[in-house]
Amino acid sequence: MSKVDRSWYDAYMMPNYAPAPMIPTRGLGSRLWDQEGREYIDFAGGIAVNVLGHAHPELIDAITDQAGRLWHTANVLATEPALLLARQLVDLTFAEKVFFSNSGAEANEAALKLARRFAFDHHGEVKSRIISFDNAFHGRTLFTVTAGGQPDYRRGFGPLPGGIEHLPFNDVQALHDAFGEDVCAVIVEPVQGEGGVVAAQRDFLEAIRRLCDQHQALMIMDEVQTGVGRTGSLYAYQAYNVIPDLLTTAKALGGGFPIAATLTTTEIASSLRVGIHGSTWGGNPLGCAVAKKVLDIVNTPTVLNGVATRREHFESALLSIGERYGVFEEIRGMGLLIGCALTEHWHGRAREFMQAAQDAGLFILVAGGNVVRLGPSLIVPEDDIAQGLERLETGIEKLVQADRESD
């Protein structure tokens, strides 16, 4: 058989992604190696997924041990790993009940369905409107892509589910003006990740909580990107001290293994009766065993306090790079969900920065055309941070020089 290479993607896979020319074959900590043995530093983290880096030994042990015991039973049987993880999530958060699925989109789908079902059970069909926000991202199922506030992602998939209204993010007055008794839920990200790494203002989240209470609506906090230590708290709602009715968590929860969860109270969960909703692989033993170990490691002072320390290192260096080369106008986000907003000259060119970094041996992300995004491991070593930032500066220096020469 011929060697696997990037051309196989074009030959055999649907063209909905545009993967890099290189193919990674191995990862360890915050480093990756490709088929040719070239080494890269990883500040992308699988889009804020690899919260403990690649091939963490304790995660390897957890999944290896469980793989030798039990892989799958479907939801007709409860398993020990699922029950242990559910209790752990309840103990660590506001929640009293947990529903497991496999991705952030599935977790948000479950939350949105449950919010409408709860409203139906208690108020009838008149209470079904959902409020979301411009530039939000909640997944790519038909329901969640409609709830998302990015029209390009839902264009061409109509007719779309109705009863969803989008408002400006962080606009308290618009929220007040739009609210009414027909609202069943508000879904919000504490930090809009795909939408440019923009953090919610405290008074905005407090207003959502207050209006939901006044109008008997549910507040859904989408913590798919911010959850499991990414912001320096186990969940971002804890830093804001704004408690939602439902919370969704995925990405970092499995440390790289697919698993997600929807968290809520006993009262709200009562509307999710037998047969109302389900997931064949939700709560599978492998995912739950790994996720429990991820939470064991992340929910410690060493890891959570280390997020702030690493953030300071990143932010200081990125501000300096931005000033030297005139490329970043703002460093934003929370914790180790970092957004570098490009100056006007570079608007629409974020992918050029991603490619320049990759050429220099560094993986980073984008959040739209105007923001470079970083989502490294929460335990990325200081030496890797320093070397990665050096590589980023090397890439940016070459990009800026080429831009000047082209003028």
Q: Among 3.40.50.920, 3.40.640.10, 2.60.40.2470, 3.40.50.620, what is the CATH number of 58-298? A: 3.40.640.10
Look at residue 41 and tell me whether its pLDDT is greater than 70: yes
What per-residue confidence (pLDDT) applies to 75?
84
**Cα–Cα dist 249/199, whole Å:** 17
- For the entire predicted model, the pTM comes to 0.96
Q: What confidence tier does 1 reach under pLDDT thresholds 50, 70, 90?
A: low
7-56+301-406 and 58-298: identical CATH topology: no
| CATH code for the structural domain at 7-56+301-406 | 3.90.1150.10
pLDDT digits (tens, 9 = 90+) for 345-401: 999 999 999 999 999 999 999 999 999 999 999 999 999 999 999 999 999 999 999
Across the range 52-59, mean pLDDT stands at 98
What residue ranges do the domains of the chain occupy?
A: 7-56+301-406, 58-298
